[in-house]
Amino acid sequence: MTEPLPQRTSADSRAALLSAFLPGLGQFTQQRYGQGLACLTITLALMAATGGLSLVSGRAAEVFFFMLLVLPWWTIQSYDAYLGPSDQQPDLLRTWRAVWEQGHDIRFLGALFLLSAVNDSVIILSNPEYLLPFFCTKPAGLVGIASKALSPVLHTAVGLGFLRLRRWSFFLYLLYATYGMTNAMVNLTCFGPGRVRNTLLITLAVFTVYIVWRRRCFGETVDLKRPTSFDR
């Protein structure tokens, strides 16, 4: 069994907002100068790596790296500023334990799904003539509208469920991942490889492995072989 989290000495919303604006700034206001400098340095290094990756692999790889590494780190260091200094263990270790044990990493993924839903909706509304590949076809009319609407609808439902760590959202995500992977693989055989299609496959694979690994965060323990209930 894991030890209970140590009680934080304060909750500093102002410091969290400052660190969300500029990584490390909230820690500086709390006189945690070494921590603040470390947060700023790590963020700058990750941003530089993101820019370098864009030059080598293109925009899609840059966005993927930013969403999976830079943005989570930015959020964690802001949460560290919110928790304030710890008098029982290193601050970042305390912060990561809080993120891990309270399922904030899953909530972050939920926020990404909601952001993706908004992005999908904007793209669909801005390009109404675009026909989305759907299992080796490009349906038009009502079927085409339904196939395009499926993505933002699923993203919204999964995102909201993840934010609240609901068990049903885990199973809904598995359904979404199965649909997404199958559709992408079928389209790959028909239309050939593409940057968006390849990025989708990689992202789904990474997300699915991680979410299955963290399935015990969802409201109650989820056993893929034999679901059982447990105390909330």
Question: Which of the two residues, 140 and 38, has the higher pLDDT score?
Answer: 38
Q: Does residue 159 sit in the same domain as residue 136? A: yes
Residue 3 Cα distances to 6, 52, 86, 101, 148, angstroms: 9, 41, 16, 10, 47
- Top-confidence range, 13-22, 66-75, 181-190, 212-221: 13-22
Query: Which of 53, 85, 101 is the last residue in one of the domains?
Result: 101
Confidence at 212, pLDDT banded by 50, 70, 90 = very high
pLDDT digits (tens, 9 = 90+) for 113-135: 999 899 888 888 887 777 677 76
Domain extent for 191? 104-217
Q: Does residue 162 sit in the same domain as residue 191? A: yes
Question: Could you tell me if residue 203 is inside a domain?
Answer: yes
pLDDT digits (tens, 9 = 90+) for 29-72: 999 999 999 999 999 999 888 887 767 766 666 777 788 788 99
Question: Which of the two residues, 104 and 135, has the higher pLDDT score?
Answer: 104
Question: Could you tell me if residue 148 is inside a domain?
Answer: yes
User: Does residue 1 register a pLDDT over 60?
Assistant: no
pLDDT at position 12 is 84
Q: Does residue 109 sit in the same domain as residue 63? A: no
Question: Could you tell me if residue 223 is inside a domain?
Answer: no
pLDDT digits (tens, 9 = 90+) for 85-100: 887 778 888 899 999 9
- Look at the chain and report how many structural domains it folds into: 2
Query: Which of 46, 69, 101 is the last residue in one of the domains?
Result: 101
Q: Does residue 124 sit in the same domain as residue 91? A: no
Q: Does residue 86 sit in the same domain as residue 111? A: no
Q: Does residue 210 sit in the same domain as residue 110? A: yes
- Mean pLDDT over the full length of the chain: 81
